[in-house]
Structure 1
Amino acid sequence: MGTMRTPDREARGSVALLAARLTEAAALGPGAALDRIQQVAAQGGELATAASVASLSRALELLWQRGWLPGEAVAAVPKPLTALVTAAIGHECRRYPTARLHPVWRAQLASLDTAPVELAEPLVPGLRRIVELVAVLMSLPQLPRLVPGPCEAEVRTSAAGVDPRVMAKVRGLLTKAESTPFAAEAEALSAKAQELMSRYAFEQAVITADHPQQATARRLWLSGPYQAPKAQLVEAVAGANRCRSVFYPRLGCVGLVGHETDLEITELLATSLATQSTRALACAPGRTRAYRQAFLVAYAHRVHQRLVDAAAQVRPHSTALVPVLASREAAVDAKFAALFPGIRTRRTTATNPSGWTAGLAAADLADLHPHRRVAS
């Protein structure tokens, strides 16, 4: 088995040439690719592994330049290549000074369980996987850059997120809600937690009015089939929480633009509701694609209505909030326009009446409290 080591000075030229062979193979057809893979394999495990790492590192460098983040690279590749891309990212990012990484980079790298890039004998099958991964990474499109890339100027972020004290109160309420045997008490505690989060968002909007934070962006990756209606569910949650969204159908992710507190609430709630909708759909009687599509579209439609109503109930009636929210909305719109110029609106349709009705009913039963645990 060949494990990545730092090649000595005499071997570096050979490693660079062999890495170029693998990169070329990723851009060629199967026949020509095999020829180059065999050339690399003929050099032995140590050089082949070093060349593999160098080829992957270059592909990742170019990917970061195209606006991608490490966690997104893991989400975008086919599942059989997940472990390999994670190992490659771990090796590549060890070169980056932590002090010059944006907090988003640090958080995503900390969540990755990395291992060394290894090639086992025979080398050709392993090199095929390397070439396959390089080809996938090279094919990923340009994305709007959300945060500074690695090794750029030292970054400072003003996005503070949700106050930890508020989060502690919310978690305390929900812990009580999860432990009580009384359904009415659990609902009251959960509703109190939701009110606390919503009120906090409005209060922060007023408090920071004189020194408003800039709107920011993040991407939320979807899983499984029916991604268009799932993206519509994310849009429903985002719109109710003063955020805007855009769906990448080829990649299976949703771009979100908003202020940090609103984005945190949106991501928590959208993730929870996606789990709930999947569970509800599994219990629904319909099995056709049209039924399931209609179910999920209706679910998103009704959830949006419920969230808008819930936000209206806790929104302060003070006129001082009106210009503040208008200013924040304008900031979100400006950020969205800068990141996604020329975006087109597209709606997901539903044609199955029974699926639509079942989806509405399931949404009426959905738990809108983002921090409550949802059984999978």
Structure 2
Amino acid sequence: MSTSSTVDRAFETALYDDDADTLDTAASLLAADPGADPELGRRGEEFVATAWRRGWQPADLVRIVRRELEDVHVRLVAALIRAQAPHDRSRGPRWAAQLAGVPEQGPPRTDRFSHATAVLELYRLLLRLPALEPLEAGLPGEAPRREHRPESRALARIRALLAKAEATGYPEEAEALSAKAQELMARHSIDEALLSAHAPSPDAPGACRIGVEPPYEQAKAVLLDAVADANHCRAVWNEPLGFSTVVGFEADLEVVELLYTSLLVQAEGAMAKAEAAQRAGGRKRTKTFRQSFLAAYAHRAGSRLRAAAETVAAETGTATDVDLLPVLASREVAVTDRLERMFPETTTTRLRGAADAAGWTEGTRAADHARVDRRRPLS
């Protein structure tokens, strides 16, 4: 029997249903034929390439496998992504950064039957992946996006400020560092908007996906939406697949990723301290406290971020005698248009489980410590 026939028989036996017995039968076929291993790997690379054609990206694939299966499957899909990459076309700096972030550990050593079982479980998942909205290519009628530029000094400084805010144990210091970071973000966004408006070929909005991981995904999605809105972007949450798609201009997408990640780290640290204090006071229930904490944090942080962005825009326009309103308004229209073409149908949902008064109070207080309000202009 040829190696291709072995793989075909195994796939026909187990890949198109969820029955455990057929999975065992197919895994036994593969385990008994070591010569089928190269063909099995090649088929896996084909599954990965198909996922790319269906709109998935490396970080998406690793995230869904981690969400639905186990660590062994994450290692397997990471190996397939790395093996397929040399045969793929160039897809830009964001894609390259995701490839660089793919886990490097190989699959753990195990017996052939267990390995074949894990491979088939992974392929079952890859086979069933739905098509996603494409992110990398411009939509019909859009202006081409300019080539990616190296990271600016402003972004490097923003990263450093947020890293310090996450690391400090003092709320007042975290507040000051986050405030400086958001001010730099707002100025960076305005600089990019003015630069693009005067370019021969203006930028078009792009999009990226950001994971929204359990637990308390809904409150985290609200926080990401608030960060996106304050930074001239729009976010659409895909609850079943565990991510939000954020639409905006590239400079704004970068700061949304940075700020959301940082605020989430700060929020979780503050929540752990607040929860410990609640337990010390005799409280035992924590799930509703955490949900309410994160919901309040998202609400309060969003208000502060928007206020900071508006203050910087007003100060910049006054200081430079530039009317920013038309520039920012045209970019907002472009972002909304891209969003509506990517997602012609969206629904809204009511935030659940945010009825704990103590959690809401503590979440609001934590957001105040991470707040971003008016500061002296930075040199």
Q: TM-score range by the shorter chain?
A: 0.7 to 0.9
Matches within 5 A, 1:134-153: 134-147=123-136
Please say if residues 205 and 250 of structure 2, whose CA atoms lie closer than 8 Å, have aligned partners that are also in contact.
yes
Residues 1:242 and 2:240 aligned together: no
Q: 1:290·1:351 contact (CA, 8 Å) conserved in 2?
A: yes
Q: Does 26-35 or 107-116 show the bigger shift?
A: 107-116
Q: What is residue 262 of structure 1 aligned with on the other side? A: 252
Q: With structure 2 as the length reference, what TM-score do the two structures score?
A: 0.81
One of 87, 93, 96 as aligned partner of 1:106: 96
- Correspondence for 2:266: 276
Question: Offset of 1:163 from its aligned partner?
Answer: 5.2
Is 1:331 the counterpart of 2:334 in the alignment? yes
- Aligned equivalent of 1:83, options 75, 79, 93: 75
TM-score normalised to the size of structure 1? 0.82
Contact (CA 8 Å) 2:182, 2:305: kept in 1 or not?
A: no
- Rounded to whole Å, the distance in 1 between the matches of 2:323 and 2:116 is 63
2:365 counterpart of 1:364: no
Whole-Å separation in 2 of the counterparts to 1:177 and 1:272: 8
Give the superposition deviation at 1:41. 2.1
The Cα of 1:166 is off from its aligned counterpart by: 2.7
1:235 and 1:267 map into 2 onto residues whose CA distance is: 11
Provide structure 2 residue ranges, at least 5 long, that are not aligned to the other structure: 138-143, 374-379
Please point out which of 116, 131, 141 is paired with 1:127.
Answer: 116
Change (3 A) 1:223 1:190: closer
* Partner of residue 26 from structure 1, selected from 4, 12, 15: 15
How far does residue 200 in structure 1 lie from its aligned partner after superposition?
2.2
Q: CA deviation at 1:187?
A: 6.6
1:110, distance to aligned residue in structure 2 (A) = 2.1
Range that drifts further, 318-327 or 261-270: 318-327
The reply on whether 1:219 has 2:223 as its aligned counterpart is no
Give secondary structure in 1 for the equivalent of 2:311.
helix
Aligned-partner Cα distance in 2 for 1:220–1:336: 16
The runs of 5 or more residues in structure 1 that have no matched partner are 1-12, 149-155, 370-376
C-alpha separation in 1, matches of 2:82 and 2:154: 34
Q: CA RMSD in A?
A: 3.2
Give secondary structure in 2 for the equivalent of 1:17: helix
Mapped contact 2:75–2:107 kept (Cα < 8 A): no
Partner in structure 2 of residue 206 of structure 1 = 194
Equivalent in 273, 288, 291 of residue 290 of structure 1: 288
Q: Residues of 2 paired with 1:342 and 1:305: CA distance? A: 27
Alpha-carbon distance in structure 1 between the residues aligned to 2:216 and 2:148: 34
Q: SS at the partner of 2:95?
A: helix
How far 1:218 moved relative to its partner?
Answer: 0.1
Deviations 1:46-72 (A, max 9, x none): x23223313312221221121001121
CA contact (8 A) 1:215 1:259 kept: yes
Q: Tell me, yes or no, if the aligned pair for 1:20 and 1:55 is still in contact at 8 Å.
A: no
The alignment covers a number of residue pairs equal to 346
Three-state SS of the structure 2 residue aligned to 1:344 is coil
Q: Contact 2:161–2:178 at 8 Å: present in 1 too?
A: yes
Q: What is the CA-CA distance between 1:306 and the residue it aligns to?
A: 0.7
Q: Deviations over 1:81-116 (max 9, x none)?
A: 21111111111223235xx33322222212224466
Contact 1:18 1:51 in 2 (8 A): no
State the partner residue of 1:352: 356
**Distance (whole Å) between structure 2 residues aligned to residue 120 and residue 177 of structure 1:** 43
> Does structure 1 conserve the Cα–Cα contact (< 8 Å) formed by 2:93 and 2:148?
no
Counterparts of 1:145 and 1:64 in 2: how far apart (Å)?
9
Q: Distance in 2 between matches of 1:101 and 1:85?
A: 19
Q: 1:21 to 1:64 in 2, by over 3 A?
A: farther
Aligned counterpart, 1:94:
86
Deviation of 1:199 (Å) = 1.4
- In the alignment, what sits opposite 1:305? 303
Q: CA deviation at 1:297?
A: 0.8
Q: How far apart, CA to CA, are the structure 2 residues paired with 1:275 and 1:65?
A: 33
Amino acid paired to 2:76? L
CA offset at residue 139 of structure 1?
2.4
1:165 corresponds to: 153
**Residue 94 of structure 2 aligns to a residue in which SS?**
helix
